Amino acid sequence: MSVGRDERDPRIVAAAAHWSHRMVTNGVPLADFQDVTGSISNWDEWCPAWVARGKVHDELAAAAEAGGRLRSAGEHFATAAICYHFGKFLFVHDPNRMREAHDLAITAHGRALPNMDPPGERVAIPYEDTWLAGVLRKPLGVNRPAVVVMCMGLDSAKEEMRTNETVFLDRGIATLAFDGPGQGEAEYKLPIRPDYEAPVSSVIDWLEERADVDAKRVGLWGVSLGGYYAPRAAAFERRVRACIALTGPFDFSEAFVHAPDLTRAAFIARSHSSDEHTAADVARRMSLAEVAHRIECPTYIVGGALDRVIPPDHAERLADAVSGPVELNMVEDGTHVVNNRPYRYRPTSADWMARQLHA
Last residue of a domain, one of 107, 140, 161: 107
Domain with 210, as residue range(s), is: 119-356
* Cα angle, residue 99 at apex, residues 8 and 156 outer, rounded to 5°: 75
CATH number of residue 56's parent domain: 1.20.1440.110
Tell whether 300 is covered by a domain: yes
pTM of the full structure: 0.96
**Residue 3: its pLDDT value, please?**
54
Last residue of a domain, one of 65, 87, 107: 107
User: Who contacts 189 (Cβ-Cβ below 8 Å, separation ≥6)?
Assistant: 130
**Residue 359: its pLDDT value, please?**
86
Query: Do 201 and 66 belong to one domain?
Result: no
Q: How far is CA 358 from CA 33, 215, 302, 332, in A?
A: 39, 13, 21, 30
Q: How far is CA 283 from CA 251, 270, 309, in A?
A: 8, 12, 14
**Residue 11: its pLDDT value, please?**
86
Rounding to the nearest 10 degrees, give the CA dihedral for residues 210, 211, 215, 216.
150
Tell whether 113 is covered by a domain: no
Beta bridge partners of 120: 137
**Residue 7: its pLDDT value, please?**
75
Query: Do 127 and 244 belong to one domain?
Result: yes
**Residue 13: its pLDDT value, please?**
87
**Residue 6: its pLDDT value, please?**
52
> Residue 208: phi, psi to the nearest 5?
-65, -20
Tell whether 112 is covered by a domain: no
Tell me whether strands 120-127 and 130-137 are parallel, antiparallel or unpaired. Answer: antiparallel
Beta bridge partners of 147: 174, 218
Query: Do 172 and 212 belong to one domain?
Result: yes
Tell whether 114 is covered by a domain: no
State how many domains the chain has. Answer: 2
* Cα angle, residue 216 at apex, residues 211 and 218 outer, rounded to 5°: 100
* pLDDT-flagged residues of the chain (< 50): 1
| Cα–Cα distance, 224 to 235 (Å, whole number) | 18
| Cα–Cα distance, 359 to 353 (Å, whole number) | 8
| Cα–Cα distance, 154 to 306 (Å, whole number) | 20
* Cα–Cα nearest to 326, from 337, 336, 315: 315
Residue-wise pLDDT for 29-63, tens only, equals: 999 999 999 999 999 999 999 999 999 999 999 99
Q: Report CA 321 to chain centroid distance, whole Å.
A: 24
